[in-house]
């Protein structure tokens, strides 16, 4: 534990820089899908489902369905971009490309490499959050300037989902095994964390279960900020995610060390 903290340094930023260089070299490929993604969702749900579901109750007033799901889609993008970066993408760098091995023969430690990857995953969440915010702005679905707070939140909670992803990367034997966390963890969160319907429509027991899913906290706080109904519970919800980020980061550092130094 103390050795993990001692071995993690500012040099993690070198790993971040490496990933950013690669990102810039292929920016068109990296940029277009995240822009299209929210537009497709908004079209499908706005033009399709939105015609059937007129209004949704939120904080004792009615809002349009599109306004309701827009913050949920931002939260989902933050989760996905962080999680998928430190699972599939990090695994490819670690396992197939041996990039981690190469870096570890320089003054960087394993801890620097893994922490740098998590920082990068959180940065991908920030990029995704930013793109989403811009698109939603043009659709007039968020309240500004309060919604700009979603940017720092994207990065901080990106750390949560990126560090969770790194924990899975430390234990999977092959890349196909990521199907387990994706279908048992990410997909259920996408469906049951209040992105598409208010949690209050669920039975009480299911609502309790939903509050065990990290995405529920993010959806709830991003929605409160995005719709301009700022309250103290946002801080508590974000605090949960920050604590989770700390725990998962430390856990993933120690698990990756075991994996790579076996």
Provide the CA 50 distance to its chain's centre, in angstroms.
26
Question: Is 105 among the residues that bind other proteins (CB under 8 A)?
Answer: yes
Question: Is 103 among the residues that bind other proteins (CB under 8 A)?
Answer: yes
Per rule CB under 8 A, count of chain residues that contact other proteins: 21
Q: Which of 5, 17, 152, 258 binds other proteins (CB under 8 A)?
A: 17
Question: Is 202 among the residues that bind other proteins (CB under 8 A)?
Answer: no
Question: Is 14 among the residues that bind other proteins (CB under 8 A)?
Answer: yes
* Least distance in angstroms from the C-beta of 85 to other proteins: 14
Please count the CA atoms within 13 angstroms of the CA of 91 that sit on its side-chain side.
19
| CB contact at 8 A, 57 and 167 | no
Strand partners, 57: 62
* CA distance linking residue 32 with residue 28, whole number of Å: 6
Between 207 and 259, CB nearer to other proteins: 259
| Helix, strand, or coil (residue 180) | helix
**Which one-letter DSSP state was computed for residue 201?**
G
* CA distance linking residue 12 with residue 106, whole number of Å: 12
Question: Is 18 among the residues that bind other proteins (CB under 8 A)?
Answer: yes
* CA distance linking residue 256 with residue 236, whole number of Å: 30
Q: Which of 54, 61, 173, 262 binds other proteins (CB under 8 A)?
A: 262
Question: Is 107 among the residues that bind other proteins (CB under 8 A)?
Answer: yes
Under rule CB under 8 A, which residues in 83-102 are in contact with other proteins? 97-99, 101-102
Residues engaged in binding other proteins (CB under 8 A) = 11, 14, 17-18, 21-22, 25, 97-99, 101-109, 261-262
């Amino acid at each position: 534990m103390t050795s993990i903290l001692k071995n993690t340094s500012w040099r993690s930023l070198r790993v971040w820089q490496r990933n950013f260089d690669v990102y810039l070299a292929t920016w068109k490929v990296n940029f277009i899908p995240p822009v299209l993604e929210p537009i497709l969702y908004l079209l499908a749900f706005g033009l399709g489902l939105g015609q059937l579901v007129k209004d949704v109750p939120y904080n004792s007033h009615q809002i349009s369905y599109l306004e309701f799901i827009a913050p949920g889609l931002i939260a989902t993008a933050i989760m996905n971009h962080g999680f998928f970066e430190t699972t599939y993408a990090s695994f490819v760098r670690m396992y197939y490309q041996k990039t981690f091995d190469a870096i570890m023969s320089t003054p960087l430690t394993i801890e620097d490499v893994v922490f740098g990857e998590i920082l990068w995953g959180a940065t991908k969440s920030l990029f995704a959050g930013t793109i989403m915010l811009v698109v939603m702005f043009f659709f007039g679905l968020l309240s500004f300037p309060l919604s700009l707070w979603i940017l720092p939140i994207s990065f901080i909670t990106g750390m949560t989902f990126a560090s969770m992803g790194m924990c899975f990367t430390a234990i999977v034997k092959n890349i196909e095994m990521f199907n387990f966390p994706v279908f048992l963890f990410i997909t259920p969160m996408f469906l049951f964390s209040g992105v598409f319907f208010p949690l209050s429509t669920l039975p009480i027991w299911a609502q309790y279960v939903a509050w065990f899913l990290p995405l529920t906290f993010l959806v709830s706080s991003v929605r409160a900020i995005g719709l301009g109904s700022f309250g103290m519970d946002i801080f508590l919800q974000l605090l949960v995610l920050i604590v989770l980020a700390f725990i998962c980061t430390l856990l993933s550092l120690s698990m990756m060390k075991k994996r790579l130094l076996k």
